[in-house]
Structure 1
Amino acid sequence: ELFVQHLALSSFNNGSGKDSNTLEYSDLAKTTEENETFHFLTDILPKKILARDYLKTLEQMQEEEEEEADL
């Protein structure tokens, strides 16, 4: 419980929620990425990306793999 509270407070204090008195997913993701203490959570709380951006990245990775296989 204390760990979750610490994560939430750190995210709230360093995030955009202070103005609106809210805690958003993006605040949690940013905290896990920037804070060494929470860095192990980056796989669990990744930054959100749009599906089209993910699919584009996936296509690029597949193209690179195909190019490497052709060599």
Structure 2
Amino acid sequence: MTSTKSHLPIGRINTIMKSSSDVENVGKDSVILMSKAAELFIRKLVVDSFNCMKQKDPSSRTLKYQNLATVVQRSNKYHFLKDMTPMKITVREYKRIMARKNGKEADVEEEEDEEMPEEASSESGSDDEGSISSSGSSGSVVSVLSD
């Protein structure tokens, strides 16, 4: 028999469930059930990401964002998460994509050697891996790693 104790905050799940305009009251049993379902979903996503990590590098011991993003991008069952977990790409790859998108096949090689200014990386919300998030002209978020 499984435990009804939740590792996720029941009050917050209750608030999220009540935030729907179609719902007025939420029963305690349904909140516990949703909490357990969310825990199982998170566990499955982490296990799939861990397996992906071990396939790439059997000696690796740290689960990284890249492993999670790879699983989300490759698996149809996580299709709804694709916009929230974009693959990280290097600045060089981002410039090539943008050049192709804008129809410019010009020398992107010259621009690749240039570094991004400090202001651009700090404004874009860089993290400790040196990645930045940038919005393309379509409005979608692309995570970019510096070389």
1:57 alignment partner in structure 2: 97
What TM-score do you get using the length of structure 1 for normalisation? 0.68
- The alignment of Structure 1 onto Structure 2 pairs a total of residues equal to 64
Mapped contact 1:26–1:47 kept (Cα < 8 A): yes
Mapped contact 1:11–1:31 kept (Cα < 8 A): yes
Q: Which runs of 5+ in 2 are unaligned?
A: 1-38, 105-147
Per residue, is there more strand in 1 or in 2?
2
Q: Offset of 1:63 from its aligned partner?
A: 2.1
What TM-score do you get using the length of structure 2 for normalisation? 0.38
Q: Which runs of 5+ in 1 are unaligned?
A: 65-71
* 1:9 and 2:83 matched: no
Percentage of identical aligned residues = 34
Over the residues paired in the alignment, what is the CA RMSD in angstroms? 2.1
Q: Give 2:87's match in structure 1, choosing from 47, 50, 62.
A: 47
What SS does structure 1 have at the residue aligned with 2:89? Answer: coil
Instruction: Write the distance in 1 (CA, Å) between the matches of 2:100 and 2:84.
Output: 24
Could you say which structure has the greater relative contact order, defined with CA pairs below 8 angstroms and 6 or more residues apart?
1
User: Radius of gyration: which is bigger?
Assistant: 2
